Amino acid sequence: MSPLHPGPQGAVGLFADLYELTMAAAFHAEGVRGQATFDLFVRSLPEGRNFLVACGVEQAVTGLTEWIYTPVELGYLESLGLFESAFLDELARLRFTGTVRAVPEGDVVFAGEPILTVTAPMVEAQLVETYLLNVIGFQTMVASKAARVALAAQGRPFVDFSARRDHGADAAFYAARAAYVGGASGTSLVSAGCAFGLPVVGTMAHSYVMAHDDERSAFQAFLQAFPGAVLLIDTYDTVEGARRVVEVVRELPPGTPRPSGVRLDSGDLSVLSRQVRAVLDEGGCPDVQILASGDLDEHRVDELVREGAPIDSFGVGTRMGTSADHPYLGVVYKLVEENGEPKVKLAPGKRTLPGRKQVHRVEEGGEARRDVVCRVDEPAPPHSRPLLAPVIDHGRRVLPPADLNAARARREAAVASLPAELRDLTPAEQPYPVEVSPALEALAALAEGRADTRSQALGGGAPAGSF
Amino acid sequence: MSPLHPGPQGAVGLFADLYELTMAAAFHAEGVRGQATFDLFVRSLPEGRNFLVACGVEQAVTGLTEWIYTPVELGYLESLGLFESAFLDELARLRFTGTVRAVPEGDVVFAGEPILTVTAPMVEAQLVETYLLNVIGFQTMVASKAARVALAAQGRPFVDFSARRDHGADAAFYAARAAYVGGASGTSLVSAGCAFGLPVVGTMAHSYVMAHDDERSAFQAFLQAFPGAVLLIDTYDTVEGARRVVEVVRELPPGTPRPSGVRLDSGDLSVLSRQVRAVLDEGGCPDVQILASGDLDEHRVDELVREGAPIDSFGVGTRMGTSADHPYLGVVYKLVEENGEPKVKLAPGKRTLPGRKQVHRVEEGGEARRDVVCRVDEPAPPHSRPLLAPVIDHGRRVLPPADLNAARARREAAVASLPAELRDLTPAEQPYPVEVSPALEALAALAEGRADTRSQALGGGAPAGSF
């Protein structure tokens, strides 16, 4: 880290909207020292999505447990001329001492359910808002998108090819991770493979073919360097490319591994895959698989699978890595309790349920029936499991080391347990039932009454909140 | 950097799709040592966009000049069991020795024009593909989006509020930078302000208001900590919030700075801004400005400005930082020359112009008339300026230190010089003219003939390329 480039992977403490710091300073000046609880959640699912896949908790925990202000950051903040030295001294000493509970990575969540909750001294809880929204929102968005591709692929493997179009290097890095949790079998991005232990995959580019005198010599050269490689066959003409593959395979020295597959990256993948399959089969290459890529998303994969296209696996890129149809998730971070007092916001259409909570998923016969958002101290409904578990306890990480294979398996099981209608790519007519427990409703009524009285006393209108 | 987390801000050499490394290894094994030239460009503008604003060159140059493989990366690559030790030894020694030319940050570019070109030994040129596409594509996308917001705002300031919804911490960091080049006056993201010297801005959150007994005491406390702050007035009722501001201002001790503004973050901003303006004016606060935020993009800003809403400045977030209507840019990186021989790709709809190029912008009377894509060695058309300038010369950075204010001014001048129709938010009926010089067309015909002959000789169909 240099002073000129602290960057998001430098000290994390400046990864905050300025108002987090000014509000924290105001709380500090006011002597606000009590515990506050914030919930991180979405108010509604993106249109057409039936569920979300929680992801990014690992990075959230890492950031919070490393939340510091070094002299570089403090010097910068001082230079703004906004902050009193007493507050900057507080920041110099500050470590995150709060408690965080979260839905495990890979589990399924719905609108109105906390994905993560923070209970901490107000100053700390406020400072981490921007960071938490950013890391949880982004990875949850990508994992949720990938889970839809997984549904469409119906068991066929698909891999993440999004790196070149993701929103910067870091986005590509974490998109690969989230896509894996969501169901991808691997990624083309080597840095992500290295860091997260993901399978890395790749074929060849058109430029490689063009850099050779002809396709045949390109294939030969590549197979010599990488026996068993996947060959890209659409640089000039896809079906002719398949014929070249057959010729090259015939000429391979005995005992040399044959190409494991061919990649189609353009054109009508349904038609071309059939033609290519025929050429390969007739040419004695039934073992050479077909990988399709090029502007794919869950809808295009679904079409290809339904049409019976003989495609063995998919490379899914841009539209998955950027969640192109919904390129952001409306995650919010709302104050729900302060010093034990439940808090609500009354802005129209933006009701917030007060208090510390637990979400219980009622499961019967291996199927998820409904979720119940409860007060944290309520008894669990029968046949349910709690979704929120501690990941940081008074500043200490209690989240086990990340296990992406476990998260991936959790996603698979959680999605499989959903009602069939929710496992479709089209919007479910009957959204998954998310109930609010009577005890939590009672608390909300109490808090809203209080806030309403306050608002009325101030001359404000009646609350128009709806969940 | 730790072995467990090399990450995109660790050694950059692994930020590559696996195929860049396997192709580089194959080139290495084949003894391909000649110079290759690749162009980075978009084939077409995103629908509805009339121009792009080049951005991200600084990060591209930094990455390329720091392109290394340390023992950590080499050990990982070796563990994949794909690469021969001779290639890994080559990587251990590898530095980027090529020459890169680029359009300066902030200048305007169109489809079919190289935004950046690389001439380097084939292995090096191939390895950097994913990285260059990623960094140039992302920042160019955001700067281009921000430039549209700037057009809509018609001189009113707007600031980047996108951090919480961008695609990870790094995306938010660079989105703030690109938005500034595109015309934003500042950002809410403190880390970006610190690293790039951008003005940082912020107000307060609903949670701050809710954490106090009432709005009035929240406003009072915040103004005490931050005299002259902007107050958020829509937590309970926007117009009532404005009345609270007037009351609080009346009670301010003499000589205390008044709040510089109020922020509206929900509801009908056009109607509410008028009501709030009236309350403030009647209450003796004509100097208190109105900042509007909440789901804004260039279209919504345009509406508000056209309706004459008394809004002094805008906070634009998610839709700008994620370029939500077009959340990716179809940048490609294509081989155009190898060892002095022009190269083309013939896949349908994907014509590539061969050879090393320069783009000349013909300007008359302060207005950009047309661009001409030429061979690099052609004389410039009259009244034109070349767009591509060296940024790395044989591995050595020749790009001057980044000056974001200069880039911002360049964007302002470049956009202002466009024909009026292109400075509208709606798609221009007449796209900006981008011509191909006769000499370059002749070279293309030559190269296409050769590639076509090759394709025909291989039994392939006729090329169906179109630019």
pLDDT value at residue A171:
96
**Contact criterion met (CB < 8 Å) for A205 and B19:** yes
Domain at B154, CATH number: 3.20.140.10
Residue B343: pLDDT above 80?
yes
Kindly tell me if the per-residue pLDDT of B460 is higher than 70. no
Q: What is the pLDDT of residue B122?
A: 95
Among candidates B161, B189, B266 on the partner chain, residue whose Cβ is nearest the Cβ of A347 = B266
CA B36-B39-B41 angle, 5° bins: 165
A447 neighbors A342 (Cβ within 8 angstroms): yes
Residue entry with tokens 């030969």: A220
Query: Which stretches does DSSP call E strand in A198-268?
Result: 230-232, 261-264
Subunit contact B170:A23, Cβ cutoff 8 A: no
* One domain for residues A332 and A222: no
A216 and A265 housed in the same domain: yes
Q: What is the pLDDT of residues B389-406, one digit of tens each?
A: 999 999 999 999 999 999
Contact B328 A324 (CB under 8 A): yes
Contacts of A12 (CB under 8 A, 6+ apart): A63, A66, A67, A68, A131, B169
Residue A302, domain member (yes or no):
no
Is A167 an 8 Å CB contact of chain B? yes
Residue A116 and residue A30 share a domain: yes
pLDDT tens-place string over residues B1-46: 222 233 444 568 999 999 999 999 999 999 998 999 999 999 999 9
Q: String of b and e for A421-453 (b: at least 16 CB within 10 Å)?
A: ebbebeebeeebebbbbeebeebbeebbeebbe
Task: Note whether A249 and A221 are within 8 A (CB).
Answer: no
- Residue for token digits 């089209």? A426
Mind telling me how many Å the CA of B86 is from chain A's nearest CA?
12
Dist. CA B280–CA B138, nearest whole Å: 41
Task: Please tell me the distance from the alpha carbon of residue A139 to that of residue A178, in angstroms, as a whole number.
Answer: 5
What span, in angstroms and rounded, lies between the C-alpha atoms of A389 and A117?
10
Provide the H-helix boundaries in B66-189.
71-79, 85-93, 122-127, 129-153, 169-182
From chain A residues 186-215, the ones with a CB under 8 A of any chain B CB are 188-191, 193-195, 200-208, 210-211, 213-215
Please list the residues that pair with B331 across neighbouring strands: B42
**Chosen from B85, B129, B134, B177 to mutate, greatest number of chain A CBs within 10 A:** B134
Q: Which ipTM score applies to this complex?
A: 0.94
Q: Spell A335-344 as b/e; 16+ CB within 10 A means b.
A: bbbbeeebbb
Range of the domain at B140: 1-198+314-424
pLDDT in tens, B59-69: 999 999 999 99
- Say yes or no for a CB contact (<8 Å) between A202 and B22: yes
Q: A167, A173, A196: which to substitute to probe chain B, counting the most B Cβ within 10 Å?
A: A167
On whether any CB of chain B is under 8 Å from the CB of A338, the answer is: yes
Q: How far is B232 from chain A (nearest CA, A)?
A: 11
Name the token pair of A437. Answer: 């427990």
Chain A residues whose beta carbon lies within 8 Å of the beta carbon of residue B235:
345-347
Q: What is the 3-state secondary structure (H, E, C) of A410-461?
A: HHHHHHHCCCHHHHCCCCCCCCCCEEECHHHHHHHHHHHHHHHHHHHHCCCC
Asked if A203's CB is within 8 angstroms of B82's CB, the reply is no
Mode of pairing for the β-strands spanning B186-187 and B158-160: parallel
Put simply, the answer to whether B329 touches A191 (Cβ < 8 Å) is no
Q: Token pair for residue B271?
A: 């109607």
Mean pLDDT of chain B: 92
A229: closest CA of chain B, how far (Å): 10
Is the pLDDT at B141 greater than 80, yes or no?
Answer: yes
Pick from A20, A164, A237: CB nearest B460: A237
- A367 close contact with B: CB closer than 8 A: no
Residue B462 scores a pLDDT above 80: no
pLDDT in the model for residue A346: 66
Question: CA nearest A380: which of A356, A354, A368, A362?
Answer: A362
B225 touches chain A (CB under 8 A): yes
Among B134, B200, B348, the residue with its CB nearest the CB of A18 is: B200
B308: left (phi over 0), alpha (psi -120 to 50) or beta: left
Contact A137 B201 (CB under 8 A): no
Q: Which of residues 395-434 of A touch B (CB under 8 A)?
A: none
CA distance B81 to A333: 45
Q: Measured between CB atoms, does A160 come within 8 Å of chain B?
A: no
Let me know if residue A304 belongs to a domain. Answer: no
SS3 assignment, position A136? helix
**Domain with A255 in it: what CATH number?**
3.20.20.70
d(CA A328, CA B305): 26
What is the overall mean pLDDT for chain A? 92
Cα B291 to Cα A136, B158, B250, B263, B276: the distances in Å are 28, 9, 21, 5, 11
In Å, how far is B327's CA from the nearest CA of chain A? 6
CB-CB contact of A144 with A294 (8 Å): no
The whole-angstrom separation of Cα B419 and Cα A333 is 44
Cβ–Cβ gap B80/A27 under 8 Å: no
User: Taking CB atoms and an 8 Å limit, are B126 and A26 in contact across chains?
Assistant: no
CA A310 – CA A304 distance, rounded (Å): 9
What pLDDT was estimated at residue A207?
A: 87
Same domain assignment for residues A442 and A345? yes
Look up residue B151 and give its two tokens: 């057009």
The answer to whether position B145 is within a domain reads yes
Nearest to A383 by CA among A399, A366, A401: A366
Q: Check whether residue A285 and residue A338 sit in a common domain.
A: no
Quote the number of domains for chain A.
2
Q: Do A328 and B173 lie within an 8 Å CB cutoff? A: no
- Alpha carbon distance B25, B46 (integer Å): 35
Q: According to the model, what pLDDT value does residue A452 have? A: 65
How far apart are alpha carbons B29 and A187 in whole angstroms?
25
Three-state DSSP class for residue B425: coil
The token duo for B172 is 């938010």
The answer to whether A275 faces chain B, any CB pair under 8 Å, is no
Among B15, B17, B32, the residue to mutate for chain A (most A Cβ within 10 A): B17
Does A71 reside within a domain?
yes
Instruction: Assess B163–A contact: CB distance below 8 Å, yes or no.
Output: yes
Looking at the fold, whether A260 and A343 belong to one and the same domain comes out as no
Residues B76-135: tens digit of each pLDDT: 999 999 999 999 999 999 999 999 999 999 999 999 999 999 999 999 999 999 999 999
Mean pLDDT of B424-438: 96
Average pLDDT for B463-467? 28
CA–CA separation, B409 vs A179, rounded Å? 39
What are the chain B neighbours of A189 within 8 Å (beta carbons)?
A: 15-18, 130
Residue B323 lies in a domain: yes
Residue B462 lies in a domain: no
Full-model pTM: 0.95
Among candidates B19, B133, B166 on the partner chain, residue whose Cβ is nearest the Cβ of A167:
B166
Query: How much of chain B, in percent, has pLDDT values that exceed 70?
Result: 93
* Contact indicator for B94, B122 with CB cutoff of 8 Å: no
Closest CA to A114 of A41, A209, A59: A41
Query: Which of B130, B168, B328 is the closest to A174 by Cβ?
Result: B168
All residue ranges of chain A with pLDDT < 70 are 1-11, 346-349, 451-467
Task: Give B368 to chain A, closest Cα distance, Å.
Answer: 30
Q: Report CA Rg, chain B.
A: 26
Asked whether residue A189 is assigned to any structural domain, the reply reads no
Judge if A346 and A397 occupy the same domain.
yes
Position of tokens 């929680």? A54
d(CA A146, CA A181): 8
Q: Is residue B87 part of a domain?
A: yes
* Distance of alpha carbon B271 from alpha carbon A291, whole angstroms: 54
Beta-carbon pairs below 8 A across chains A and B? 386
